[in-house]
Amino acid sequence: MQTFFGKKELFFSIKFFIIFLVLQFFILSAPLAQLENFIASAEAGALGLQSSGNIVFFEDQSFQVGANCTGLLSGAILFAVVFAMKKPDFRKKLLIAAAGALVLFLLNFPRVFFVLWAAKNFGAGLAETLHEITWMTTAVLVLIVWFFAIRKIAKTKNFAELI
């Protein structure tokens, strides 16, 4: 009888979570105020709203663009999953992770815009729900794209060879 979660899967999972937690620590510790302020200002301006620092105001509510709203968290998930694998080689991993993180960073702008648009037009309650849904959707999308693309990049048909 074969188990679903063997030693290789356990080792992969441990590496993934260690890498992710270290990156998350750095994201939360890094001085990202300028990036947060830029995102808040750009999004507020696009929606005709006011911002101050990393806070976007609408009616009697406000949204704070924090470190986890920058798109870096999605990039951290990608980095963790790519670098937890055995294959491909380090250079390809770095290229995949860097390119993917850049795409995720850029895709984060419309995600934040959509959440703030919903807040402006439908209220903070719906916006908070959409914020969580869009973030989780982004994380799942990262994993799905990675799962299918990495086998082609690593030139393997057997996923087990990657971990």
Instruction: Judge whether 61 lies within some domain.
Output: yes
- In tens digits, the chain (163 residues) has pLDDT values of 455 567 888 898 899 999 999 999 999 999 999 999 999 999 999 999 999 999 999 877 888 999 988 989 889 988 998 899 888 889 988 988 888 888 888 889 999 999 999 988 988 888 889 988 988 888 888 777 777 777 777 677 766 666 6
Cα dist from 139 to 19, 35, 129, whole Å: 16, 21, 16
Number of domains observed in the structure of the chain = 1
Instruction: Judge whether 80 lies within some domain.
Output: yes
Distant-in-sequence, close-in-space partners of 157: CB < 8 Å, separation ≥ 6 = 151
Q: What is the pLDDT of residue 55?
A: 95
pTM of the model: 0.81
SS3 content of the chain, % helix, strand, coil (to 5): 75, 5, 20
The domain in which residue 73 lies consists of 7-161
